[in-house]
Amino acid sequence: MALTSKPLSSDTWPAFARLVEKHNGIFGGCWCISFHLEPGEGKRGAAAYRAMKKARVRKGQAHAALVFDGPDAVGWCQFGSPAELPNIRSKKTYDEGLRKLPDWRITCFFIDRERRGEGIASLALREALRYIAQLGGGTVEAYPEDYTGEKTSNSFLCSGTLGMFEKSGFRKTRKIAMRRWVVTRRVPPKRRSTPRANYGPSIHQRPLA
């Protein structure tokens, strides 16, 4: 069966929620909300984070490229503007060297535990960049980890690996932690005849890269 990609929306929320619930809320009940939070918003429980995420999705204030196998979401790549995703790792060091904010940020990935190692993260990244192009393009920034030659927990790789981003055309701009880099890429806008809100799905045949 072909893998498909769809944007996170009210229509795809049920599949997104099923994947999160399958993994007990992800990382202690995060519900992929932590990068949305402003400093000082404080820690809340999984139920509150679920409601917050759903409200953002309903308002169009949460973006992600979801990868589907049939009706089931098997992973995603989260992206958004700095206003939408103000909270990043190593933010103090990041802010110290900041010259200009990017147009877009890619902040996290999540892949179904039963589907890891199949290239789904790379596919989700490609689709996120495609959606960004449909939404007007611009400078895209991400904050991957460099664990080249090392084994590490998947929880440390939720921001993606440096190698994956470099293969997708990103370049290193500066280091903000021992293994964490700021990487950037320029994405040109894609001319579209359909409305901005309806940035659409695509289909990918196996095998994945």
pLDDT of 204: 58
- Which pLDDT score, from 0 to 100, does residue 183 have? 98
Distance CA 145, CA 178 (A): 9
Number of domains in the chain: 1
Does residue 59 belong to any structural domain of this protein? yes
Cβ–Cβ under 8 Å, residues 58 and 11? no
* pLDDT value at residue 153: 56
Tell me, yes or no, whether 207 lies in a domain. Answer: no
Asked whether residue 148 is domain-assigned, the answer is: yes
- What range defines the domain where residue 129 resides? 3-195
- Report the distance separating Cα 21 and Cα 57, nearest Å: 17
pLDDT at 20: 97
CATH number of the domain to which 26 belongs: 3.40.630.30
Q: Confirm whether 185 is domain-assigned.
A: yes
Question: Quick one: pLDDT at residue 193?
Answer: 46
pLDDT score of 147: 79
Q: pLDDT digit of tens for each residue in the chain (209 aa)?
A: 689 999 999 999 999 999 999 999 998 899 999 999 987 776 788 999 999 999 999 999 999 999 999 999 999 999 999 999 999 999 999 999 899 999 999 999 999 999 999 999 999 999 999 999 999 999 999 999 997 766 655 554 789 999 999 999 999 999 999 989 999 999 999 976 444 444 656 655 443 43
118 neighbors 165 (Cβ within 8 angstroms): no
Assigned token pair, 145: 């980890």
203 inside domain: no
Residue 205 located in a structural domain = no
* Inter-CA distances, 146 with 34, 53, 78, 89, 117, Å: 22, 29, 19, 14, 17
